[in-house]
Every structure is written in structure tokens, then in C-alpha cells.
A and B are shown apart, each in its own frame.
Chain A
Amino acid sequence: MTTMHWFHRAMGRGRRLAAFAAAELPPADRARVEADLLACPACRREVEAYRLVSGTLRTSERAALAPDQAATFWSGVERRIQRGSDAAPTRPERPALRELFWDHPRLSLASAIAAVVLVLGLTLGQMGVWTAHPPAGSNGVEVVSVEAGQDASVMVFQAPGSALKVIWVFEKPSS
């Protein structure tokens, strides 16, 4: 095909050529197409092809129906269409979950990995792995709370130069 022909097709002239071949163009457009055809052999071949097809269709025998057949023809067609639509399996508008995952292994893989990461994260989170805890003092001991009984008082201390933390109970002398 020539460059000119491709240009014509790109410009949407294929439809105009078909209309030209069918003698459906107004005179002004027809003259313009005729001018184009002089410069475009491929366009001429295309017009010839359109004419050939159009001529074949026009010369084909038409199916003729008897009046009683014509009366029942369309109602029969409609009936069959209706039966077909009733019998045809309905497809859901959205793909089923199974279809979504089964037919798309990459999606399933990503979902599975995401699920594993989520569950592991939650599990480790509940185990306190992600929770920040204050360090338990330089000697590894942190006294969180301390309370003395009724018959005692208590003191927490760490002697200078010692690594030990001491919880000291002072017992009240028994009466």
C-alpha cells in the first residue's frame, strides 16, 4: 500500500471510500474523492473491492417467506431468545472469591505473604517484642513497685560502688 493510502486510512477516508463505492456521497465529496483516487492506486483498489462486495450482496437471492411464515417468524425468534436467556447460566458481575484467587496465583501469593506478615506481626506484638521497655537499670534490676506490710516499713537503695539494688524491710518490734 502507498503512503498516500495509509494517510487516507488514518484520516478516516476508508469510510468515505466505502460510501463512494456505494454511491452514497454528496456530489462535492464525490468529486474530492475522485481527485484523491487519481493519486492513490491503493485507494482505487479498495474502492473496487467495496464495489465488488456491494455488488455481490445486491445480486444475492433474498430469502422469501410465505405470509403465514412471516407472521410467526419474529415471534418465534423472540421466543427462542427468551428461552435461551432463561436457560443460560448467569455470571456474577463481580468475580467470585475462588475465581479471584484461584485464577490469579500472583494475587494469592501476595495475599498469603501479607497474611503471614500480619499474623507474625500481631503474634510478636502480643509477645511484647515491639514494645519498648525501659532498661532495667545499669545493674539489670528495676524495682517497679514496693509496699510494706502492716508490721513493717521498707526502703529501696543502692550503695555507692555496689552493683546491688536492695529492698530493705524494717520489722516493727513485736509487742
Chain B
Amino acid sequence: MRHPLRGTWLTLLFIPLVVLGITPSRIAAQATVSLRVQVIYAANEPGGVDSRLGGLAVDLQRTFRYSMYQLLDAPQGSVALNQGWRAGLPGDRWLEIVPTAIQAGQNSLTVRVLSPGGQALVNTAVRLRRGATVLVGGPTHQKGVLIIGITVPQ
């Protein structure tokens, strides 16, 4: 006679096989990180603060002593883990971001600013909570500098 619980435990035995099929590596491979970058030109020139900078403008003014902040570009993208994402910067430079992990709501990123020759001006690893912004600044541009805001949107 067929045992009434036989179907139940067969189902339960089947669950681990399904779970095993969805391995963490597959989950990780499917995970993507959204990126929002703001390329800002900062200089001591007339021009004031670009209104498109939104809430970032206040923090920029608290942090730096430039008189002018102009948003040059605002590239956005979505990239899979361990895949590179590039955005062009003025002066034939490049910004390269590689998300390396998403753990406990934090995104680990490798960020590089590449010179026109392809050499890294800076190579950094950061962990960003969703909605937080890290700034990479200093590369010269015209009469001022470039400040690059990198955000993982919420």
C-alpha cells in the first residue's frame, strides 16, 4: 500500500536538488550592479554651481573651495559582477569600474582612472552602500580639475 507521506517526503527530497541547481555562482553571475557617474568640472572661475548636480552641490561646496562646479557628463549603466564598465572622461581619459561583490547590501567596486596611454592614474577598491557616493577627483582639466562622483543607485 502506498504510504500517505511518501509523496511529501519525495517532494522534500527533491527540493535540495533544485536548490543545488541554483548554485551561488549562478546567482552571482546573474547579479548586476547599477552605476551612476557624474563627471564634474571644478575650477575657480565664474559660473557658479550647476543646478543639475542636485544634492551633491552642497556637499561639494562643503568639501572643496572651488567657485564653479559644472556637470560635464552623467553616464549611467548596469554591469554584471566582475565585468568592466567604462565611461569616457575629458582629455582622452577613461573611468573603469568593475563590481566585484555584492554582500550584505554593500557593493564592492574596483575603480580606475586611466590616462590616455592606458596607464592607471589611480586604482582603488571601495565598498559602497546603495545610494552612497564616493568622489574621485584631481585629474586636471582646463583651468581646474575633474571630480567624478560614483554612486550605486538605490
- Contact surface of A with B, Cβ cutoff 8 Å: 102, 105, 108-109, 111-113, 115-116, 118-120, 123, 126-129, 131, 133, 136, 139-152, 154, 158-159, 161-171
Q: How far is the CA of A142 from the CA of B146 in the complex (A)?
A: 21
Of A142, A164, A171, the contact of B121 (CB 8 Å cutoff) = A171
From A115, A140, A144, contact of B16 by CB (8 A): A115
Query: Does B86 lie at the interface of the complex (its beta carbon under 8 Å from any beta carbon of A)?
Result: no
- B124 at the A/B interface (Cβ < 8 Å)? yes
Structural contact, B134 and A165, CB atoms closer than 8 A: yes
Say if the beta carbon of B34 comes within 8 Å of chain A: no
Task: Give complex CA distance A138, B93 in Å.
Answer: 31
> What are the residues of chain B within 8 A of A143 when measuring CB–CB?
124-126, 134
Stretch from B43-51, B69-77, B100-108 contacting the other chain: B100-108
B90 at the A interface (CB under 8 A): no
**Known contacts A116-B19, A161-B62, A149 near B121 by CB under 8 Å:** yes
Q: A113-B12, A116-B19 are in contact. List 15 more A-B contacts (CB 8 A).
A: A105-B5, A108-B9, A112-B13, A112-B15, A133-B127, A136-B127, A136-B129, A140-B129, A142-B126, A144-B127, A147-B122, A148-B122, A151-B119, A154-B138, A165-B134
Measured between beta carbons, the chain A residues less than 8 angstroms from B128 are: 136, 140-141
- Where the two chains meet, the residues of B that have a C-beta atom closer than 8 Å to any C-beta of A are 3, 5-6, 8-9, 12-13, 15-16, 19-20, 22-24, 27-28, 59-60, 62-64, 101, 103-104, 106, 108, 111, 113, 115, 119-140
Q: Are B126 and A144 in contact (CB-based, < 8 A)? A: yes
User: Are B132 and A139 in touch, CB under 8 angstroms?
Assistant: yes
How near does chain B come to A50, taking the closest CB pair, in angstroms? 45
Q: What residues of chain B lie closer than 8 Å to A102, measured between beta carbons?
A: 3, 6
Chain B residues whose CB sits within 8 angstroms of the CB of A170 once the complex forms: 138
> Considering only CB atoms, which chain A residue lies closest to B135 in the complex?
A166
List the count of A-B residue pairs having beta carbons below 8 Å apart: 154
Which residues of A lie under 8 Å from residue B115 when comparing CB positions? 149, 151
Q: Which residue of A lies closest to B114 (CB)?
A: A149
Contact of B12 among A116, A133, A136, A140 (CB under 8 A): A116
B62 touches A159 (CB 8 A): yes
Q: How near does chain A come to B144, taking the closest CB pair, in angstroms?
A: 13
Bound-state Cα–Cα, A171 to B104, Å: 35
Q: What distance in Å separates the Cβ of A132 from its nearest Cβ neighbour in chain B? A: 8
Residue of A nearest to B60 (CB): A164
Are the C-beta atoms of B133 and A141 separated by less than 8 Å?
yes
CB pair B132 A131 closer than 8 Å: no
A133-B106, A136-B106, A144-B126 in contact; A169/B121 too (CB < 8 A)? yes
Least CB distance, A124 to chain B, in whole angstroms: 8
With A127-B27, A169-B121 already in contact, the answer to whether A133 and B20 are too (CB < 8 A) is no
Q: Are B16 and A109 in contact (CB under 8 A)?
A: no
How far is B20's CA from A149's CA once the two chains are assembled, in angstroms?
Answer: 43
CB pair A164 B138 closer than 8 Å: no
Which residues from B are CB-within-8-Å of A112? 9, 12-13, 15-16
